A and B are shown apart, each in its own frame.
Chain A
Amino acid sequence: MKFYGYPRPDGSVGSRNYVALIPVVGCVNNICAHLEKLIRGTKALKHDQGCLHPAQDTDQVTRTLINMGKNPNVGAALLVSLGCEMVDAEKVYEGIKETGKPVDMVVTHEIGGMIDTLAKGARIAVDMVADTSAVRREEFGLDKLIFGTKCGSSDTTSGLSSNLVVGDVCRRMTEKGGRFIQGEICDIMGGEYELKKLCHNPEEGEKIIDYVRDLYLRGYAVGADVRGSQMTAGNMAGGLTTLVEKALGANAKGGTVPIQGTLDYADLPPDDPGRYIMNFPGHGFENLTGSAAGGAVIHLFTTGRGAPNGHPIMPTIKICGNANTNKTMSEHIDVDVASVIEGTESVEAAGERLYRFAVDVANGKMTKCEILNHEGMEILIKGPVM
């Protein structure tokens, strides 16, 4: 199986061809939002971070912004800086520039206000779209494809159908040299020792367990036992009894594909094909941004009750095994795998179907999230907001 993607100067390959409008700090989100409405072919990567963080979070936000710009679905990037933010806008600019892609920046304090910044930014974005739109899709092997997986608004059908089907696709994709990013440390809690067994390198397995310990201790620091928070009332009403049961169902999204290594939030995986565990939360906005910053150009997102959200630059495929949700939330669901629960289709047959669908999306087929413009992003921070 091959796919048709957009070649980038750094050798990466995109499934989409956007000009990214990147606010260096949340204060200029509005400027990016206006530009996105004004200029076709752009995507505003709005977030609420970039200032008044401890140094560790400033670093994390900086890395995320750079790697969002590096995402192969981005053909060119226009940074919008306010001019006084903690994140070093020049560093973000230089970071994205390393890819060889066109990058430019407008600084609101220097230009003087939103209206003139909009005018200057708009002229730059028009030229960027004109040039970027000339990039043509070419044929590539799946070794050039990075994707993400997660589950959201899960129910008992997730572990019995959609997650198993995604696990099957992960096997198929990695056999062809693909890479995928999985995380949701809250969902791994209870299944961390099972994941460690799948690690090539036991030290990487120990890092997965450290991610879980870190999550637990961050909850403990504010007086919470996250084991309890992680088992939601909805999970239990849906039939999940214990954390381990929930984790084993969630881990099924990667099947038994061996784990190559771990990734810090928003970090890029090495070139080796296979499965990577990123330290990100289950919460959709920060989670999808982590995968996109990791270079994922499509995403396999399972749901039971119907999670609608996608990401601005990463097409997000919704896979659902709940027959009722597939009816009531049909405009949000891309691939119906209720047949697996009903016993009328094998996991492998549904996996083949989803595999082909995912390659179609990589080739340009639009997902329901894209069609509905149902998208959003946020950047994970860990420390206090000052």
Chain B
Amino acid sequence: MGKLGKKIAAADNVATVLTKCDAGDQIVVKFNEQEESYLCSQDVPFGHKIAITDILKENKIIKYGKEIGSARVDIKKGEWVHTHNVKDDYLCLDKQGNPLPGQEA
């Protein structure tokens, strides 16, 4: 019996761990009656995310079925996914779709 992870939408490539996890733990993720297990390769704090697929650099991180950011580096299945390896792509845009001033992409 591993520790629990939570996946929210079918398309998600990350799951949130529901307890603090250590490298080597098995993370069990249930979704739509299906259960999958992932080997956690790093220590991950409670409430943080692990990759449940390999995510290549610049590919999108998907949670809630939506794009929440993009990978700064290649991320392997089972790795901790957070600000160190994810870029926040959000820009506040004007009506023409151009970034408002003061934002570094």
Contacts and interface: CB of A to CB of B under 8 A. Distances in A.
Interface of A: 155-157, 159-160, 189-190, 194, 206, 212-213, 216-217, 220, 225, 227, 231, 236-239, 241-245, 248-249, 252, 341-343
Given A213-B92, A213-B100, A244-B88, A343 B30 contact: yes
A238 B47 contact: yes
A251 to B, nearest CB: 9
B68 A160 contact: no
Interface residues of B, number: 33
A244 B4 contact: no
Given A212-B92, A213-B94, A241 B61 contact: yes
Contact of A245 (B30, B68, B95): B68
A239 B45 CA distance: 8
B63 A248 contact: yes
8 smallest CB-CB distances across A and B, nearest first, come from: A156-B47, A239-B47, A239-B48, A245-B68, A242-B88, A242-B69, A216-B92, A243-B90
> Which of B30, B67, B86, B88 has most A Cβ within 10 Å?
B88
Interface string B52-89: 00000000010110111100000000000111001011
Contact of B69 (A189, A213, A244): A244
B66 to A, nearest CB: 6
A321 to B, nearest CB: 11
Contact of B64 (A236, A249, A341): A249
Contacts of B94: 213
B83 A225 contact: no
Contacts of B100: 213, 216-217, 220
A242 B68 contact: yes
Given A241-B61, A244-B66, A245-B68, A220 B47 contact: no
Contact of A239 (B8, B82, B93): B82
B26 interface: no
Nearest to B45: A239
A108 B47 CA distance: 54
Contacts of A244: 66-69, 88-90
Contacts of B13: none
Nearest to B101: A220
B3 interface: no
A279 to B, nearest CB: 16
Contacts of A216: 92, 100
A160 B8 CA distance: 8
B69 to A, nearest CB: 4
Nearest to A206: B95
Contacts of A238: 47
A216 B89 CA distance: 16
B33 to A, nearest CB: 12
B86 A242 contact: yes
Given A225-B103, A227-B92, A342 B69 contact: no
Contact of B16 (A156, A227, A242, A342): A156
Contacts of B6: 160, 341
B51 to A, nearest CB: 12
Nearest to A210: B95
Contacts of A157: 47
A294 to B, nearest CB: 26
A214 B1 CA distance: 50
A241 B92 contact: no
A212 B91 CA distance: 11
B14 to A, nearest CB: 9
B18 interface: yes
B46 to A, nearest CB: 7
Nearest to B4: A343
A199 to B, nearest CB: 16
30 contacts: A155-B47, A157-B47, A159-B64, A160-B6, A190-B90, A212-B92, A216-B100, A220-B100, A220-B101, A227-B90, A227-B103, A236-B83, A237-B45, A239-B16, A239-B45, A239-B48, A239-B49, A239-B82, A241-B69, A241-B81, A241-B82, A242-B90, A244-B66, A244-B67, A244-B68, A244-B69, A244-B89, A245-B63, A245-B64, A248-B68
Nearest to A236: B83
A227 B104 CA distance: 11
B56 to A, nearest CB: 18
A194 B66 CA distance: 10
Nearest to B48: A239
